[in-house]
Structure 1
C-alpha cells in the first residue's frame, strides 16, 4: 500500500461509496420514463448509467444508451420530472453502506476534515446526507454543479484543497468509479477505490490510468491505515 507523509483531509464520493442510492435513483428514473410513456428499465440498467450526474443519467435513461443524447424537449421534460420526483423520494430505500458511519466517526476522531465530492447536484447531495444523518461529519460538500467542472476534472479536489488551505497531495480521494480515480490522479492526490460500490474495481485496476493507489473493502480500513501515522505525529 502506498503511503504519504501526512493525510490532512479525506474526500469521499457519495453514490456507491458512502451509500447505496441506486434503488431510489432507479425508481425516479422509471417514474420519469412512465411520465413520458416509456416502459420501466431494470434496476441494473439504471445502475450502469449512474456516476456522471443527473443530466447525463436522464440522457442515458431516455435513450437506453451510454453516449447518445435524448431529443432536447424530451430530455427537459424527463429531467424536470426526475428532479421533482427524486427530491421527494431521496431516501425511501437509500441507506449508508453498513460500516460507513463507523468509519466516518473513526476518521473524525483523528481531527482531520472530511469532504464529499460528488457528481450529484449539490442540493440533492446535501439533502440526502442530512436525511441519512451523515451531513454533520463533513466540512465541505461539493456537487456536480457546485463548480464549472465536475469529476473526472481535478477542479473539485483542487478547489477543496484551496478552501481547506492544504495541498492536494495531502488529501486522499475515496470512490467507486473511474471518475473518482481519474480526478484524484489529475489533482495529484492519492486515490482509494472501494470494492463494494458500483464500479468494477477489478477491471479498473487492470489499467494503469484507472488503477487506484489503495483498495479497501470498508470505510474503517482508511482509519486503520492512518491511525499509526497519527500516533507517530502526536508523539
Structure 2
C-alpha cells in the first residue's frame, strides 16, 4: 500500500460504511413483500442492494423497474415501513464506534455525506447518538454523489482543505465523488456490495476488506502526519 498522509478530517458515507442499516432496511423491504402477499427474501440478498437506495429495493422486492407505473406507490410503502423503525437494529460498525468516540473526544473534525434523504438520516444519527461536525444529505444541495459538490461543501463546513480529507465509502459512486473532490478515496469491502461486484476495481486510493483494518489505518494515519495541513488548507480550500 502506498503511504498516505494522515487525514485532518474524515468524511463517511452512511449506509454500509459508518452504520449497519441493512437489518432495518431489509425489514422494510420484506414488509413491502408482505403487503403484496409475497414471502420474505433472504437477508443477504437484500443486503447487497441497500446502498443502491429505496428504488433499487423496490425493484428487488417486486421486480418493478423505476419506470413502472406502480413503482412510486411501492416505494412509499417501503419507506413508510422503514421510517417507523429506522433505528431498531441499526448500529455503528465495530470497531468504528470506539474509534469515533476517541476522535470526537480529541475534537477532530469528521462528518457524513450521504445520498440518504435527511428525513431518514437525521433521526437515525440522533438516535445512535452520533455528533458529526457536518451532515449533508441527498436533498441538502442541488447535486449529490457522485458529484463532488457535497464533499466540497462538507470540507468547507469543517474548515478543512479537500486534499486533507479522507472520504470513506462502500459504493463506486463514493470513490468517484472523492476523486472528483480531490480527497483520498477510501473503499471498504465490508459494506453493501453485490456479490458479483469487485470493490477493488473501484477508482480508490486504498481498499480495506474489513472495518478493523480501516480503523487501524485511521488510527495510524497510514504514513506521514498531517503537520502543517492547517496552514495549507487556507491556500487550497475550495
Give me the TM-score of the superposition, normalised by structure 2.
0.81
Matches within 5 A, 1:179-198: 179-198=173-192
Number of residue pairs aligned between Structure 1 and Structure 2: 225
Cα distance in 1, alignment partners of residues 139 and 56 from structure 2: 13
Residue 168 and residue 230 in structure 1: after superposition, are their counterparts in 2 closer, same or farther (change >3 A)? closer
Confirm or deny: 8 A CA contact 2:168 2:186 kept in the other structure.
yes
* TM-score normalised over the length of structure 1: 0.82
How far did residue 47 of structure 1 move?
1.4
Cα deviation, residue 115, structure 1? 0.7
Q: Deviation string for 1:180-230 (max 9, x for gaps)?
A: 21211121100122232223799222x3x5334353633532022279726
**Offset from partner CA, 1:143-165 (integer Å, 9 cap, x none):** 22222222222221122123334
Aligned to 1:151: 145
- Could you tell me which residue of structure 2 aligns to residue 3 of structure 1? 4
For 1:96, the equivalent position in structure 2 comes to: 92
C-alpha change, 1:95 and 1:165, in structure 2 (3 Å) is closer
Q: Quick check: 2:4–2:223 contact (8 Å CA) kept in 1?
A: no
* RMSD (Å) for aligned C-alpha atoms: 2.8
Task: Answer yes or no: is the 8 Å Cα contact 1:106–1:223 preserved in 2.
Answer: no
Higher relative contact order (CA 8 A, sep 6+): 2
1:114 to 110, 115, 134: 110
Q: 1:70 to 1:39 in 2, by over 3 A?
A: farther
Secondary structure of the equivalent of 1:84? Answer: helix
Partner residue in 1 for 2:204: 211
Q: Which runs of 5+ in 2 are unaligned?
A: 231-238
Q: CA deviation at 1:12?
A: 0.6
Select 1:71's aligned residue among 51, 68, 71. 68
Cα distance in 1 between the residues matched to 2:9 and 2:44 = 33
Structure 1: stretches of 5+ with no match in the other structure = none
Deviations 1:7-62 (A, max 9, x none): 33210111111222111101101111222344322222211222133234334433
- How far apart, in 2, do the equivalents of 1:128 and 1:142 lie? 14
